[in-house]
Structure 1
Amino acid sequence: MGIYDRDYYRREREYRLSLGTPRSAVVTIIIICVIIYVIDAFMPATRGARWLSDALSVHVGTGVKWPDTLSRPWLWWQFVTYGFAHSPENLGHLVFNMLGLWFFASEIESLYGRKEFLRLYLLMIVLGGVLWAISVYLSGWLGRHEGAFSSSLYGASGAVVGMIVLFALNFPKRTVFLMFLFPVPAWVLGVLIVAGDLLGATGWTRDTNVAYVVHLTGAGLAALYYFRRWNLGQFDPLGWLRSRLRRRPRLRVHRADTPEPSHEEVDALSAEVDRILEKIYREGEASLTRKERRFLEQASRLFQRRRR
């Protein structure tokens, strides 16, 4: 049996959009955000805002009511948690972000795999938060804020914008409904979102409650990820250590001018191929390392030669 005759390559990729699917990272993120919002709705208001959302948010400036995040390394975990908190006074803030995740990020997860999706999603949140905090500080130092200045950041919109842009890059001709009414190609939606954020970031709009820097960071990361063909799993600093600690049989792929492999070697090759193909099915092709890709190519040539 050749590699591409196996079940992993014959069965369709499953789009896990059901709330009952435990392996969907998108559903898990939505549930966490909703739980935080509901808990926060019942929390007493302190310091003029809800306690939980404020505790999870990023705070920057000289006049903040909460400790400044950027200048306190022990608070840098807020660069992750702010992406799961939303305005308790604005239900639409939560609803529209979660709808964006549901309709667009679900297909991105199915395309790239659960782990790779989570890596990219969290990278968009963290980098967006850091760049936004730096931009607020620079604005204060350059005199754009008179006297004490402060600002807070929460919401998943930066990562959501990034996922919409990545969706548009992967499926540019897919029909989506703008404002749930007007059918347009996905690339049109992506262009409109990025253009709106660019106008907002340059001061063409007066909505100061929107973190345009975070949105543009997500969009920029999506473009880099797509055009540079990144695989964030290969940047795992502990991956090399785990690969060396994991014991595997010594496998050898024979070239055309070498003797035929024994039955034991063929069985070992098949077992390793099955493991790699199962990894593709679970986590997506982007999760493969270069060594695994090279092994699949060599094993495929061997199996094809044996079938002749």
Structure 2
Amino acid sequence: MSTILIVIIAVTILFSFKGFNDVAFFIKFEFHIGSIRAGDQIRMISSGFLHADVGHLFFNMFTLYMFAPVVVAYFGEVSFLLIYIVSLVFGSLLTLLLHKNDYNYRAIGASGAVTGIIYSAILLEPDMMLGLFYVIPIPAYLFGIGYLLYSIYGMKAKNDNIGHTAHFGGAIGGYLITLLKEPDMFVNNTAMVVLLAIPIIILFVMSKLGKL
């Protein structure tokens, strides 16, 4: 397993468990629009290492574990880390953009960074298969698209503290960096490039129409 992947997972687990057991710590480092607009920019990064509960943490880290090796194999550890961090930042920036006037908006989770890795891996290996519940084989791109469609539901429902908006920012980050590093995909993998853009386009259309 990649060293940098182990480090990311370990740091996220330690940071998240600290947050589970220390409310003051959790509040200090969560994504909070009011605090960020007041100048507390570290929350744009630190919130990506906090999670709502063990299930939320496990799902994100397990998903990262499944998709990260593809990106590391193609680009190496440094570029993998770059995609992870840039995707995390893109997720926070999009969240800030869409919720900038909601000073009480709060969110946490590595979802933005993880979604960036998902999108990168699917672009690199469009025929990759996953074992849903370890049994049912499904194409990885269906998982990625479903992940974002679930995010739209979460954004509309607004019934948890998970940063669903960040999923899209992260997807955009992973999508763009991967295509910048491998521009031949526009020709060699056109169908997947277009397919993975659809959920992102749906998000912005819904945002423009005020449906979020």
Q: What is the CA distance between 1:198 and its match in structure 2?
A: 4.0
- Whether 1:36 aligns to 2:15 is yes
Quick one: which of 60, 85, 100 aligns to 1:137?
100
Q: Which position in structure 2 is the counterpart of 1:227?
A: 179
Over 3 Å counting, the alpha-carbon distance change for 1:41 and 1:212 in structure 2 is: closer
Where does 1:188-203 land on structure 2 (aligned, <5 Å)? 188-201=142-155, 203=156
Match of residue 113 from structure 1: 76
- What residue in structure 2 maps to residue 216 of structure 1? 168
Distance in 2 of aligned mates of 1:42 and 1:213: 26
- Deviations 1:152-193, CA, capped at 9 Å, x for gaps: 222101111121122111111111023444211112212222
TM-score normalised by structure 2 residue count: 0.76
What are the ranges of 5 or more consecutive residues in structure 1 without an aligned counterpart?
A: 1-16, 18-22, 44-49, 62-67, 141-148, 232-308
Larger Rg over CA atoms? 1
Give distance in 2, aligned partners of 1:222 and 1:38.
Answer: 27
1:228 match: secondary structure = helix
Q: Which residue of 1 aligns with 2:196?
A: none
Q: Report how far residue 230 of structure 1 moved.
A: 6.4
Structure 1 distance, partners of 2:180, 2:19, is: 40
> Structure 1 residue 86 and structure 2 residue 58: aligned?
no
Equivalent residue letter for 1:85: L
1:152 corresponds to: 106
SS in 2 for 1:172: coil
CA contact (8 A) 1:129 1:153 kept: no
Per-residue displacement from partner, 1:210-242 (whole Å, max 9, x unpaired)? 4332101111222222333369xxxxxxxxxxx
Aligned to 1:60: 33
Alpha-carbon distance in 2 for matches of 1:210, 1:77 = 18
Q: Which residue of structure 1 lines up, in the alignment, with residue 87 of structure 2?
A: 124
Cα deviation, residue 53, structure 1: 2.1
Secondary structure of the residue that 1:150 maps to in structure 2?
coil
Once the two structures are TM-superposed, the CA of residue 206 in structure 1 deviates from its matched residue by 5.4
**Is the Cα contact below 8 Å between 2:89 and 2:170 reproduced in 1?**
no
Residues of 2 paired with 1:70 and 1:25: CA distance? 31
**Structure 1 or 2: larger helix share?**
2
Amino acid at match of 1:191: I
Q: Give the fraction of aligned pairs with identical amino acids, expressed as a percent.
A: 24
**C-alpha RMSD of matched pairs (Å):** 2.3
Residue 37 (structure 2) aligns with: 70
Q: Is the 1:168–1:189 contact (alpha carbons within 8 Å) kept by the matching residues of 2?
A: no
Q: Give the letter for the 2:37 counterpart.
A: L
Count, aligned residues: 183
Letter in 2 for 1:80: I
Q: How big is the shift at 1:209?
A: 3.5
2:188 corresponding residue in structure 1: none
8 Å CA contact 2:20, 2:26 repeated in 1: no
Choose which of 170, 176, 181 in structure 1 pairs with 2:130: 176
Are the aligned partners of 1:25 and 1:109 in contact in 2 as well (CA < 8 Å)? no
Which residues of structure 2 form unaligned runs of 5+? 184-212
